[in-house]
Amino acid sequence: MNKPEIKVYYTASVLSYTFRLSGYQAVLDKDELATAERFSLPEFKTRYIVSHGILRQLLAEFLHQSAANIRIARTDFGKPFLPDYPELSFNMSHSGDIMAIAISYQCQLGIDVECYKTRNTWEGLVKKCFAPEESAYWYSLDTADRSRAFYQFWVKKEAFVKAVGKGITLGLNKCVINPDKLSSFLRVPESGGLAKRWQIYVLDLAENEFGAVVCDRKDAVLHKIPIP
């Protein structure tokens, strides 16, 4: 039996696709165009148009449809989905100028990517977002390793809440990663079902970039693909 596949499309520079801006803008729907107009900074507006245009073109390739004709709806919590093609799952994340889009079939999935930023508030964030088991593991690390470990936990938690589609209202400290097996969860909120249902897949990114996909399909094969 073939293993399920998750395709992850990635770019380290969304703005490098700006030369296609007019083409991307032409395929967005009225709601997306209205959202783009609300950005006061031109760079943010451009990044939004490009990223959502890329998403539509990738979905169009999967569905053999026109990018402009694809209907993208959102749940009450803001998770995008395709009402006409419920079998196709997708999720997008960006941080700074990096972006990643995960696409697969017959599953729930979420993706998160983050660029490293130095902070003075690691312990406060750990107290707020980590469960006791995770905190104990984090404090057991050498001080020099803690900031990167925080991001490694953070992207997995964010990917999970995006997969469930309820956002951080679930409580990141209730999405508990197993410190002894970092590809699995010890506990998840009730709306996520059983913890053993979910699997974590780490993305292989640059040194100061972190990313993860969480999916309710076990033993999936990830294909990291540059955005064309």
Q: Which helix (H) or strand (E) holds 32?
A: helix 30-37
pLDDT exceeds 90 at position 191:
no
What distance in Å separates the CA atoms of residue 54 and residue 42, rounded to the nearest whole number? 18
Domains in the chain and their CATH numbers? 5-226 (3.90.470.20)
Q: Tell me the average pLDDT across 193-198.
A: 94
The β-bridge partners of 199 are: 215
pLDDT (0 to 100) of residue 118: 86
pLDDT band at 185 (very low <50, low <70, confident <90, very high): very high
What distance in Å separates the CA atoms of residue 89 and residue 110, rounded to the nearest whole number? 9
pLDDT exceeds 90 at position 194:
yes
pLDDT band at 1 (very low <50, low <70, confident <90, very high): low
pLDDT (0 to 100) of residue 3: 81
What distance in Å separates the CA atoms of residue 65 and residue 180, rounded to the nearest whole number? 44
Q: Tell me the average pLDDT across 93-120.
A: 94
pLDDT (0 to 100) of residue 163: 95
Average pLDDT, the chain: 94
Beta strands at 80-81 and 73-74: parallel, antiparallel or unpaired: antiparallel
Q: Tell me the average pLDDT across 100-128.
A: 94
Residue position matching structure tokens 């506990």: 187
pLDDT exceeds 70 at position 100:
yes
pLDDT (0 to 100) of residue 214: 97
Rg (CA), the chain: 18
| CA-based nearest residue to 103, from 60, 41, 143, 158 | 60
96: region left, alpha or beta (phi > 0 left; psi from -120 to 50 alpha)? left
Tell whether pTM > 0.85: yes
Strand order in the sheet with 109-115: 109-115, 209-215, 199-202
pLDDT band at 162 (very low <50, low <70, confident <90, very high): very high
pLDDT band at 24 (very low <50, low <70, confident <90, very high): very high
**Rounded to 5 degrees, what are φ and ψ at 197?**
-70, -25
